[in-house]
């Protein structure tokens, strides 16, 4: 009954959108330009000195089409979108040029660049005719107001409806919209707070808010960068279907060329505030002209590149190995391929408590890490992939004992000795910390803003009482050279560095104690494509030169494919498949691995994503795998085991399944 | 939420017992007791002391009992609403404090209202116009207010009031109204005298409040959801009040906990300088003369108010901020 009602509501919404669809039907005959930017200059006031961030940019956004704006961070693409919307930060100012806006072909064009941000015409356009979605679904919604209130506000501001923001008329529209963007239970979602929703659902709520007034232009500023690949495919599919239904133009800002290849009609490539190249999607991908664009295309790791091909970073870095470290920090580098770390049946359960009405709480157990076993050999790079929430980071935290495991062992092998890291005392652990170090995902929050680089690099040495003050300083300088930075940076604070440089400082800090094993938690996912290649290449070189062993976590399959020797795929706390790199990508067996490989967008027009499969899939519901990969009864969990297909390839399946059964299915 | 409030209320009891122990111990720490101080005063003024009377006083006030008995006697009476007997005033503590309580609350409330009325607009202006001349100017005056000791400001203002306007601003009313029943003239006189203490006591509080509103609001203004609000066309003022301002109020609500006891105890030193008939000077005098029950009950009263205030602000925060309400009790 409820379902039927939801269905009829959706039909009504679609009928209500027919007006918008008509416009797009007209527009496809001869698309006019909804936005035409003409020789635009924008500068930022830096304490008296003007910094030009957009320098003479001209391009157009045709009605109903998608234009992708591509460039690395600092290229001025975000500020350009803010200028179109009229939400420039206070320090930025349009110096000259025009932004012509025309909703319908016959309208008189309006120059947005000449209007003040707070001019009534401008305020009416924002949210009404043009809207924006941001990269961070976690922070772009107010945590204090319900989803329904925030979306309803956007509707109430631009439409003359009776009642307040949460009045009946507005409420009905909001619930319809939540249904349209794929909320499984829109009525319940209406009165939820953002913190109760997953990242993917928050981004859907954001999209609902942006589209509730059926704008003519949607600016999507890195809409999927913060999401993992499966969620990215779902959100992109949603955007594409909504665009067709509402007939709006989309300005897609991204640095992911794979996304561009799948979404854009036209592409504009920006570098340092200027347009390097612009054209249709075909022209850009089939026949790139500008060297910058060519370099950008080469800097992105891709699933179709050769296994031993080296990424060409836009700006290579020179680093030097200090004499004290040369020859490898790892004492046992001559025992190549020896077992270093052995993880056996590691498990961790979280108890999530939820308030239930006025009285009491319900406690649900969440198996964050469920019976995970793998081994890491000396000198190799072991990759762990999976979507967010699959337990990869929890596994990592268990390894370094940042969390306490419920059961399982982590054996550290050295020579003939092996130690269980899970059961040693805190004093013994202190010694092991030197051998096992961590690099974090976010280069901005993982370095203290109040410490100089010198203090950041010196801290691990002080903790472990290594050397006197003078030696530590000298060593810190060597560490900086090791990651390709100059020792003159020692006195500076982290805020004066770019994301890539900060991540290199983070790597230097992790190497300060000369560890044997480096645990890297999504070390490049917060970085720009151009810098990503740089850091990946640096990590590869350091691994070879210092004889390091890596455990590398990422949700980006292409990155893992580039750097890892063996890869484990995690899904909902369990390791479902583990194989050597080539085997995993050429011969995936588990249905989840196959699905994961399918959702990676390629920067290649001949391998488009299959959006239809994801359109209404929110990724929230339970997923079931066919017979040999999942027990028919959920309580039969213990009958699942890792079936060995080849010496280096194992898959989670029902006990007793033969390799032949698996490869057939 | 209901369960949360219940457990919080239950947790108040051990806290208060601990506080009462500490208070009692500290009051008993100085050598001697009220009777000795009293004898000392009598001897100093040349009078003879009747030892029999001293012993009688000791027994009367329970001072000859062991420490733990005295504690139990005091706290037992406190719980039943009997706050004890002031040696110095020869009256029950509730009477001694009660007389001054209303005036204290009046002065404190006037000060708090003045602080809010001035601090909020200035703080919001400073945050939204960061690094403008207005921001620098207001910040300068704010810091000046923060750096000037209250009692110094009180002395300066007393001097200028005397020399320029020829009025004495000491006290909370003209001398003829003291201990008189309330009348229109008395009320007017109180209002007149209220102005200077309110300004003096409020200055540093206002300055501190401006700084905090500015800092908190600046943090929030950077956040993405503010841009979201602008991008959907929320008018500037509403976008400020509904989102970042509301968010930056958390510190303000958390502050209510410390506000309650401050209302009752008031600014002691300023009250002495301006000779205000508030409870602050009373407390200090009681501590000096070892007027055990007066000081102890008063401090205990403050402790209770602090605990209630903190509870109130926690409950309010829970209602205001869904993040606090909904994440409670998650374990790792």
Q: How far is A451 from chain B (nearest CA, A)?
A: 21
- SS3 state of residue A60: strand
Residues of chain A contacting B238 with CB distance shorter than 8 Å: none
Give CA–CA dist B324/B315, Å, rounded. 10
**Exposed e or buried b per residue across A31-52, where buried means at least 16 C-beta atoms within 10 angstroms of its C-beta:** bbbbbbbbebbbbbeeeeeeee
Looking at residue A632, what is its pLDDT?
61
Which stretches of chain B are assigned E, i.e. beta strand? 85-86, 91-92
Instruction: Determine, for residues A127 and B231 on separate chains, whether the beta-carbon distance falls below 8 Å.
Output: yes
**Residue A220: which of A421, A27, A35, A85 has the closest Cα?**
A85
Residue A659 exposed, middle or buried by CB count within 10 Å (0-12, 13-18, 19+): middle
Contact A520, A548 (CB under 8 A): no
The answer to whether residue A551 scores a pLDDT higher than 90 is yes
What is the value of ipTM here, to two decimals?
0.77
Q: Which of A630-634, B59-63, B116-120, B246-250 is least confident?
A: A630-634
Residue at A376 is within a domain: yes
% of residues, chain B, pLDDT over 90: 10
DSSP secondary structure letters along A243-280: HHHHT-EEEEEES-HHHHHHH-SEEEEEETTEEEEEEE
Dist. CA B236–CA B5, nearest whole Å: 38
Nearest to A140 among B1, B228, B242 (CB): B228
Q: Which of A123, A132, A360 sits opposite B3 (nearest CB)?
A: A360
**pLDDT at residue number A234:** 86
Q: Judge whether A458 lies within some domain.
A: no
- Residue of A17 and A154 predicted with greater confidence: A154
Q: Which domain holds residue A357?
A: 323-438+518-602
Chain A partners of B233 at a C-beta cutoff of 8 Å? 123-128, 154, 157-158
Greatest mean pLDDT range, B162-171, B234-243, B290-299:
B234-243
Domain assignment of residue A566, yes or no? yes
Interface membership of B227 toward A (CB under 8 Å): yes
Least confident interval from A492-501, A634-643, B138-147: A634-643
Cross-chain Cβ contact A154/B323 below 8 Å: no
Chain segment B196-215, per-residue pLDDT in tens? 888 888 888 888 889 899 99
pLDDT over 70 (residue A334)? no
| Interface membership of B224 toward A (CB under 8 Å) | yes
Q: CA A13 to CA B279: how far, in whole Å?
A: 67
Q: pLDDT (tens digit, 9 = 90+) per residue, A287-322?
A: 888 888 888 888 888 888 888 888 888 777 788 887
Angle at which helix A499-511 crosses helix A529-546, to 10 degrees, equals: 20
Q: What integer pLDDT is reported at residue A381 of this predicted model?
A: 94
3-state SS, A100-133, equals: EECCCCCCCCEEHHHCCCCCHHHHHHECCCEEEE
Which residues of chain A are within 8 Å of residue B135 when distances are taken between CB atoms?
A: none
Q: Is residue A235 part of a domain?
A: no
Test the B interface: residue of A143, A348, A351, A405 with most B CBs within 10 Å: A143
Q: In angstroms, rounded to a whole number, what is the distance separating the alpha carbons of residues A602 and A239?
A: 18
**Domain CATH for A531:** 3.40.50.300
pLDDT of residue B45: 78
For residue A14, pLDDT over 50 is answered with no
Residue A37 has pLDDT above 90, yes or no: yes
pLDDT of residue A616: 59
pLDDT at A269: 92
Cα-based angle B32, B33, B36 (whole degrees, multiple of 5): 80
What is the model's pLDDT at position A5? 42
Task: Say which residues have a Cβ less than 8 Å from residue A115's Cβ, sequence separation at least 6.
Answer: A86, A121, A122
Q: Which residues of B touch A158 (CB under 8 A)?
A: 233
d(CA B298, CA B301): 5
Which residues 210-229 of chain A have a CB within 8 Å of chain B?
210
Q: What is the 3-state secondary structure (H, E, C) of A271-309?
A: ECCEEEEEEEHHHHHHCCCCHHHHHHHHHCCCCCCCCCC
Domain residue ranges of chain B, discontinuous segments joined by + = 15-82, 102-208+256-320
From chain A, the residues in CB contact with B247 under 8 A are 142-144
With a cut of 70, say whether residue A471 has pLDDT above it. Answer: yes
pLDDT for residue B40 is more than 70? yes
Could you tell me the two tokens for B46? 């040349």
CB contact (8 A) between residue A134 and residue B326: no
Question: Burial of B106 by CB count in 10 Å (0-12 exposed, 13-18 middle, 19+ buried)?
Answer: middle
Across chain A, mean pLDDT equals 84
State the total domains in chain A: 2
Q: Smallest Cβ distance to A128: which of B233, B247, B332?
A: B233
Q: Which two tokens stand for residue B291?
A: 């007027």
Chain B residue nearest residue A129, CA to CA: B232
Contacts of B328 in chain A (CB under 8 A): 355
Residue A567 has pLDDT above 90, yes or no: yes
A642, β-bridge pairs: A652
**Sign of the CA dihedral running A279, A283, A286, A292:** negative
Q: Is the pLDDT score of A563 beyond 90?
A: yes
Q: Is A655 on the interface with B (CB under 8 A)?
A: no
Average pLDDT over residues A385-389: 83
B321 touches chain A (CB under 8 A): yes
Joined tokens for residue B250: 């958390």
Q: What SS3 class is residue B275?
A: coil
For residue B208, the distance in angstroms to the closest alpha carbon of chain A comes to 24
Q: pLDDT for A248-290, tens place per residue? A: 999 999 888 889 999 999 999 998 889 999 999 999 988 888 8
Tell whether A342 is covered by a domain.
yes
In a domain, A546, yes or no: yes
Q: What is the pLDDT of residues B66-101, one digit of tens each?
A: 888 888 888 888 888 888 778 788 888 888 888 788
B243/A contact by beta carbon, under 8 A: yes
């Amino acid at each position: 009954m409820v379902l039927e009602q939801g269905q009829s509501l959706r039909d009504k919404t679609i009928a209500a959108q027919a007006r918008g669809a008509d416009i797009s039907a007209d527009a496809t005959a001869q698309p006019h330009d909804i936005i035409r930017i003409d020789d635009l200059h924008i500068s930022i006031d830096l304490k008296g000195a003007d910094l030009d961030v957009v320098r003479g940019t001209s391009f157009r956004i045709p009605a109903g089409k998608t234009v992708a704006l591509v460039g690395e961070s600092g290229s001025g693409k975000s500020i350009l979108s803010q200028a179109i919307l009229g939400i420039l930060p206070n320090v930025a100012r349009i110096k000259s040029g025009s932004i012509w806006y025309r909703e319908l072909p016959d309208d008189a064009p309006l120059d947005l660049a000449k209007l003040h941000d707070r001019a009534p015409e401008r305020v009416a356009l924002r949210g009404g005719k043009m809207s924006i979605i941001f990269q961070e679904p976690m922070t772009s919604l107010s945590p204090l107001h319900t989803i329904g209130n925030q979306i309803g506000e956007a509707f109430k501001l631009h439409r003359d409806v009776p009642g307040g923001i949460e009045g009946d008329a507005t409420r009905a529209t909001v619930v319809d919209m939540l249904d349209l963007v794929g909320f499984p239970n829109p009525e319940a979602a209406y009165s939820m707070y953002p913190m109760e929703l997953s990242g993917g659902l928050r981004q859907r709520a954001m999209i609902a808010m942006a589209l509730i007034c059926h704008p003519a232009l949607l600016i999507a500023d890195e809409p999927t960068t913060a999401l993992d690949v499966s969620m990215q495919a779902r959100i992109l599919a949603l955007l594409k279907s909504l665009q067709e239904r509402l007939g709006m133009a989309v300005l897609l800002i991204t640095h992911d060329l794979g996304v561009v290849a799948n979404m854009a009609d036209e592409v504009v490539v920006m570098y340092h505030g200027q347009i390097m190249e612009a054209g249709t999607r075909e022209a850009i991908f089939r026949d790139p002209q500008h060297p910058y664009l060519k370099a950008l295309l080469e800097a992105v790791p891709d699933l179709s590149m050769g296994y031993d091909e080296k990424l060409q970073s836009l700006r290579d870095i020179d680093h030097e190995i200090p004499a004290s470290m040369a020859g490898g920090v790892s004492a046992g580098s001559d025992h190549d391929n020896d077992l270093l770390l052995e993880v056996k049946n590691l498990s961790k359960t979280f108890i999530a408590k939820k308030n239930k009405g006025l009285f009491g709480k319900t406690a649900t157990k969440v198996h964050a890490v469920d019976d995970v076993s793998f081994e890491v050999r000396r000198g190799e790079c072991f990759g762990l992939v999976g979507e967010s929430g699959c337990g990869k980071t929890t596994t990592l935290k268990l390894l370094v004992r940042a969390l306490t495991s419920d059961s399982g062992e982590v054996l550290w092998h050295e020579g003939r000795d092996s130690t269980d890291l899970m059961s040693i005392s805190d004093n013994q652990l202190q010694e092991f910390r030197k051998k096992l170090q961590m690099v974090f995902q976010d280069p901005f929050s993982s370095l203290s803003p109040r410490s100089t680089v010198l203090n950041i690099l010196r801290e691990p040495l002080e903790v472990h009482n290594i050397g006197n003050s003078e030696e530590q300083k000298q060593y810190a300088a060597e560490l900086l050279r090791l990651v390709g930075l100059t020792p003159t940076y020692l006195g500076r604070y982290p805020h004066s560095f770019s994301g890539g440089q900060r991540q290199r400082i983070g790597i230097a800090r992790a190497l300060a104690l000369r560890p044997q094993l480096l645990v890297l938690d999504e070390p490049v996912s917060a970085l720009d494509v151009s810098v990503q290649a740089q850091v990946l290449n640096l990590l590869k070189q350091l691994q070879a030169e210092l004889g390091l062993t890596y455990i590398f976590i990422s949700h980006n399959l292409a990155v893992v494919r580039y750097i890892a020797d063996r890869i484990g795929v995690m899904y909902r706390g369990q390791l479902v498949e583990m194989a050597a790199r080539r085997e995993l990508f050429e011969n995936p067996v588990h249905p989840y691995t196959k699905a994961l490989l399918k959702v990676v967008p390629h920067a290649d027009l001949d391998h488009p994503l299959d959006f239809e499969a994801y359109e209404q899939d929110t990724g929230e519901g339970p997923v079931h795998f066919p017979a040999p990969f999942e027990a028919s009864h959920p309580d039969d969990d213990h009958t699942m085991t890792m079936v060995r297909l080849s010496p280096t390839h194992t898959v989670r399946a029902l006990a007793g399944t033969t390799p032949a059964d698996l490869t057939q299915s | 939420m209901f369960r949360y409030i219940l457990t919080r209320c239950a947790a108040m009891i051990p806290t208060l017992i601990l506080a009462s122990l500490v208070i009692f111990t500290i009051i008993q720490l100085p050598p001697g007791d009220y009777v000795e101080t009293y004898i000392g005063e009598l001897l100093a003024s040349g009078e003879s002391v009747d030892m029999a009377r001293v012993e009688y006083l000791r027994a009367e006030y329970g001072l000859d009992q062991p420490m733990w008995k005295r504690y139990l006697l005091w706290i037992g009476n406190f719980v039943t609403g009997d706050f004890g007997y002031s040696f110095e005033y020869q009256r029950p503590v509730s009477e001694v404090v009660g007389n001054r309580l209303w005036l204290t609350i009046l002065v404190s409330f006037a000060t708090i209202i003045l602080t809010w009325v001035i601090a909020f607009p200035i703080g919001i202006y400073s945050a939204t116009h960061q690094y403008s001349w207005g921001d620098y100017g207001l910040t300068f005056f704010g810091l000046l207010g923060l750096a000037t000791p209250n009692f110094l400001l009180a002395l300066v203002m007393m001097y200028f009031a005397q020399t320029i306007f020829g009025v004495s601003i000491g006290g909370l009313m003209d001398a003829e109204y003291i201990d008189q029943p309330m009348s229109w003239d008395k009320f007017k006189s109180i209002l007149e005298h209220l102005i200077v203490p309110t300004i003096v006591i409020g200055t540093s509080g206002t300055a501190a409040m401006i700084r905090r509103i500015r800092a908190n609001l600046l943090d929030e203004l950077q956040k993405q959801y503010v841009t979201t609000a602008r991008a959907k066309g929320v008018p500037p003022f509403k976008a400020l009040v509904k989102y970042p301002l509301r968010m930056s109020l958390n510190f303000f609500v958390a502050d209510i906990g410390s506000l309650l006891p401050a209302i009752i105890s008031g600014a002691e030193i300023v009250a002495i300088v301006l000779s205000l008939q508030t409870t602050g000077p009373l407390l200090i005098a009681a501590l000096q003369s070892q007027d055990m029950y007066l000081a102890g009950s008063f401090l205990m009263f403050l402790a209770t108010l602090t605990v209630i205030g903190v509870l109130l602000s926690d409950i309010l925060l829970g209602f205001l901020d869904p993040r606090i309400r909904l994440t409670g009790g998650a374990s790792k």
